[in-house]
A and B are shown apart, each in its own frame.
Chain A
Amino acid sequence: DAGVIQSPRHEVTEMGQEVTLRCKPISGHNSLFWYRQTMMRGLELLIYFNNNVPIDDSGMPEDRFSAKMPNASFSTLKIQPSEPRDSAVYFCASSLGPSQETQYFGPGTRLLVL
């Protein structure tokens, strides 16, 4: 079975541009998580969905960040406008349910904002 799929794998953009990251969770998984990882702050949860509904977005840094999950097999994380401090690796993860602690991570998107 395919694991969590993320695209693009790498993104280089200029400050002020819109960035859209995409994620396809494992089929049958009901919970989806977006994380950001930096050297300084480690892995931080940005937002998570259960059954396509956003449950907790308290980790979203500011209004420039938004996430959607229009159906069970697709989610996006958008940054508009992007800033250099947004440079990080963004991971999407999925699990069977909200309390299923085994989360399966995608390969991540490496974002560099110049």
Chain B
Amino acid sequence: RKEVEQDPGPFNVPEGATVAFNCTYSNSASQSFFWYRQDCRKEPKLLMSVYSSGNEDGRFTAQLNRASQYISLLIRDSKLSDSATYLCVVNPHTDKLIFGTGTRLQVFP
């Protein structure tokens, strides 16, 4: 089983739609969680951290469910510029980050 698993997509949604991505992780001792965004042919960039109580940044909401070992990312009112690959990232209580293979989102007009 992979340490971090994501649905690869692609998710094709119209502008204005709400879309949600889930990610599961295998190490129950994992301490911290993140979503990174990667545009086509670009480097990954931190989108947001994921806190136990859930957190929101504008149109983006991240949630953590430790009992079920999954994290989610909700994007409301999708924009064309949201089209990218979203990487689920977990720190399994080490100095290393474990990246999922990413979920591709395509927002169309």
Query: A residues within 8 Å of B by Cβ?
Result: 31, 35, 41-43, 45, 48, 50, 55-56, 91, 98-99, 101-103, 105-108
Contact = CB atoms under 8 A, between A and B. Distances in A.
A108 B95 contact: no
B102 A45 contact: no
Contact of B43 (A31, A48, A91): A91
Nearest to B99: A43
Contacts of B87: 43
Contact of B99 (A42, A55, A56, A106): A42
A101 B34 CA distance: 9
Chain A binding site: helix, strand, loop or mixed by DSSP?
Answer: strand
Q: How large is the interface on B (under 10, 10 to 19, 20 to 34, 35 or more residues)?
A: 10 to 19
A35 B45 CA distance: 14
A87 to B, nearest CB: 15
Nearest to B100: A42
Given A43-B44, A101-B34, A107-B43, A48 B96 contact: yes
A50 B100 CA distance: 24
B26 interface: no
Contact of A45 (B32, B45, B96, B101): B96
A50 B95 CA distance: 10
Contacts of A41: 101
A94 B38 CA distance: 17
The 3 tightest CB contacts between A and B, nearest first, are A42-B101, A105-B43, A98-B95
Nearest to A105: B43
B43 A56 contact: no
Contacts of B91: 101
Nearest to B6: A42
Contacts of B42: 107
Contacts of B102: 42
A41 B3 CA distance: 12
B97 interface: yes
A31 B43 CA distance: 18
B46 interface: yes
